[in-house]
Chains A and B, each alone.
Chain A
Amino acid sequence: MLLIQCPYCGERPEPEFVYGGQAHVARPPQPAEVQAQPWADYLYRRDNTRGVHAERWRHTHGCGRFFNALRDTTTDHFLATYKVGEPPPAAGGEA
């Protein structure tokens, strides 16, 4: 079980959270004008990074808010969590 630092509530156990997949995946502003391949990439293609991964979490059983995190998928250690709208901290930043 992971301990996750919610930027709003502090450190809480994993079952309070829901994983939200890769972060910073931008929805095309005009979906109707997007060709099939870029739309499929937006819907389905993910980096599936082996290493530092920027991802979304939601503190469902707490504040209810989404936030982003950097986690190393080879160790499951969180490097940082940050609020939606903020740029990701430099990879390998402070825990």
Chain B
Amino acid sequence: MQRFSLFSLLASGLSGQRGWHAQWRHPEPKPAYDALIVGGGGHGLGAAYYLASEHGLTNVAVLEKGWIGGGNTGRNTTIIRSNYLFPESAALYDHALKLWEDLSQVLNYNVMFSPRGVLMLAHTVHDAQVFKRHVHANRAAGVDNEWLTPGEAKAFCPPLNIGDIRYPVLGGALQRRGGTARHDAVAWGYARAADALGVDIIENCEVTGILRDGSGAVCGVETSRGTIRAPRIGVAAAGHTSVIMKMADVALPLESYPLQALVSEPVKPMFPCVVMSNTIHAYISQSDKGELVIGAGTDAYTSYTQRGGLHITSHALEAICELFPMLRRLKMLRCWGGIVDVTPDRSPIIAKTPVQGLYVNCGWGTGGFKATPGSAHVFAWTIARDEPHALNAPFTLERFRDGDLIDEAAAAAVAH
């Protein structure tokens, strides 16, 4: 791997930037590996990286149907925070947030993590009570989160309109350690670092079947590029997880919905933080390119189309125009959809399955990007040791049978 450093950048600058190589190989798939990861998004690539770097499993391949980072990793609004209500969730997401903080140094790849603060707005008395409960629960769990009055929220985010709107801002919960990162760089950084440790990243390789041996355990996959054998398979296929797991006759409590986002034309730096409003439903931040990145809600119905209704994005923009009147004349450049896999309790599943050797990391719903490093880290542990890490032990498939839900759905009431 060509390491990036001040010296290598200077030297390449002086030699006309002609000395750079491809950042990872494009190998042909080998007939067999020690482990396979299905899904080349952040969670899958990260899991392959941690399998190689922390568990010594380097004979690993990541199989990706399209191109790496082309699914939800490249389609989300890049918001990172860990102020979840329940102890299990807060621990998992805060594990991820701590890994974000030095991820660029660890991977030697700038993921542009920017802890600029995430402000979640309260518009009703109920919102205010719920968010204050979150603040207290988080502080008891050692996760930073603080309550701001409307005036303090306005001071933290000057573009915010706190008064003259249909649902006035009654305050907000601020997590200062939260922020954004560059989504593509997360996929590319993990891919590059995993490749350097020997992991094969195989793009344009669609899994079409999961092979089982006589005892029922997995022994490989059929793909569009031939049969690949492996005794351990980790599936991190986001919205298509149900489709993949059906190949091994594993049914999951998942439904896949379109979730849309959009970006504006680029403007000068004017938006200092991330603002989320669950009640009138909009998320917004400004990318380092200058585009305002805006998240909308999910469509009402299940779908695999990677597009949604215009009325959903219009609704988000109406909320943005109310909250930030200075943006009313800004033009939108692009909008797109991703397919998110939603569980009944809005918490993920990172677990072993009833099939020996088959592991699943899914159900991140509308909020998986923030968890990428933590999710990948504990998923790699689960695959390598055939048992969950303490942090993902509660996030089983069996919790739906046993009633041990981690009910962030009830806690957040909306997408999170």
Contact = CB atoms under 8 A, between A and B. Distances in A.
A74 B305 contact: yes
A1 B401 contact: no
B218 to A, nearest CB: 21
B311 A74 contact: no
Interface in A22-51: 36-37, 40-41, 43-50
Interface string B251-271: 111111000000000000000
A44 B400 contact: yes
Given A40-B400, A43-B344, A48 B256 contact: yes
Contacts of B301: 2, 19, 55, 71, 76
Nearest to B343: A44
Given A2-B309, A50-B243, A40 B304 contact: no
A44 B303 contact: no
B400 A55 contact: no
Interface string A63-92: 000000001011110000000000000000
Interface residues of B, number: 23
B304 A14 contact: no
A50 B301 CA distance: 13
A46 B305 contact: no
Contacts of B28: none
B344 to A, nearest CB: 5
Given A14-B309, A48-B254, A40 B302 contact: no
- Considering residues A1, A18, A50, which has the most beta carbons from chain B within 10 angstroms of its beta carbon? A50
A34 to B, nearest CB: 12
Contacts of B310: 1
A53 interface: yes
A15 interface: yes
B302 A55 contact: yes
B302 A36 contact: no
Given A43-B400, A44-B253, A45-B400, 6 more contacts: A18-B300, A19-B300, A43-B344, A45-B253, A48-B341, A55-B301
Interface of A: 1-2, 14-15, 17-19, 21, 36-37, 40-41, 43-50, 53, 55, 71, 73-76
Minimum-distance CB pairs A-B, first 6: A44-B253, A48-B242, A19-B300, A40-B401, A1-B309, A19-B301
13 contacts: A1-B311, A14-B309, A18-B300, A41-B251, A43-B400, A44-B253, A44-B344, A45-B251, A47-B242, A48-B242, A48-B255, A49-B302, A76-B303
Interface of B: 240, 242-243, 251-256, 300-305, 309-311, 341, 344, 400-402
